[in-house]
Amino acid sequence: MLINKAYKFRLYPSKEQEIFIAKTIGCSRFVFNRFLGQWNDTYQETGKGLTYSSCSAQLTKLKKEFIWLKEVDSIALQSSLKNLADSYTRFFKKQNKAPRFKSKKNPVQSYTTKVTNSNMAIVNNKIKLPKLGLVRLAKSREVEGRILSATVRRNPSGKFFVSIVVKTDVQPLKKTESSIGIDLGIKDFAVFSDGHKMDNHTFTAKMEKKLKREQRKLSRRALNAKNNGMNLLDAKNYQKQKRRVARLHERVMNQRDDFLHKLSTDLIKNHDIVCIEDL
């Protein structure tokens, strides 16, 4: 059975590649916000939005007006435009709220690019990306399948990750002739129908003392920056401490994700049917 499968790896770009990633993210955000403004104006005037094809034609003209848009991956700009069109399509179908402007203050920044003419590949412990070239990555497992797209992301901690979507063939798991029921709780994380319980791992509580100390430092540095009339984006001490706090939150998040992934994988591999209550 052919499915789309995602692989996530940490990236270790060089300083030049970090700058280029930041440029690509900024240009993608600029294109998204620019056409979102036009889309909103058209919607208010006519009650209808624009189309992806009309915006794509305007993007070509926009590159002549803003030369720096030509420096980055053109597919990333088109993907940003496609995401905007898809968001408005879902909005008109009442599947979600209207798209909002993207901010450079958002803690997670990313851009998406797609495969064209073999411009993306895994080469040993590196990944080839459009305009970036070969970027070192922590390849924890082999990528199986045909690569379709890749999303490069910068976390609040300053770490870079790439999510690769591939088309691959998977085989169904062997039948276990077993079923299990799960009741999620507060005192215990889960109680299973076979009688055993799963403890509620309080990852945040274990890091609480350290988190409070580092967050107090962050608040003091924010106050010092404001007293000195500095913008927080330009305050190096504040930004350094902000990344330190983000790394602590990221560690807690990784511990929680690791726990959930291991538990869900174990349930799926050992049971054909998993039942939960409908709240």
Give 243-266 pLDDT, tens digit per residue: 999 999 998 888 888 989 999 999
Residue with tokens 């107090």: 216
- Cα–Cα distance measured from residue 10 to residue 21, given in angstroms and rounded to the nearest whole number: 14
Q: What's the whole-number mean pLDDT along residues 173-192?
A: 87
Per the CB < 8 A criterion, the answer to whether 177 and 272 are in contact is yes
Antiparallel, parallel or unpaired: β 188-192 and 121-123 = unpaired
Angle, helix 52-65 to helix 74-92, in steps of 10 degrees: 140
Residue 86 pLDDT > 90: yes
- Per the structure block, which two tokens stand in for 88? 């408005």
Residue 75 pLDDT > 80: yes
E strands present in the chain: 2-12, 109-114, 121-123, 126-129, 133-137, 146-154, 160-169, 179-184, 188-192, 197-199, 273-276
Comparing 79 with 203, the larger pLDDT belongs to 79
Q: What's the whole-number mean pLDDT along residues 77-87?
A: 93
What is the reported pLDDT for 17? 95
CB neighbours of 259 closer than 8 A, spacing ≥ 6? Answer: 201, 203
- The tens digit of pLDDT for each residue in 211-243 reads 899 999 999 999 998 898 888 888 889 999 999
- Per the structure block, which two tokens stand in for 57? 């034609």
What is the reported pLDDT for 155? 92
Per the CB < 8 A criterion, the answer to whether 166 and 145 are in contact is yes
Q: Where are the domains of the chain?
A: 2-169, 179-276
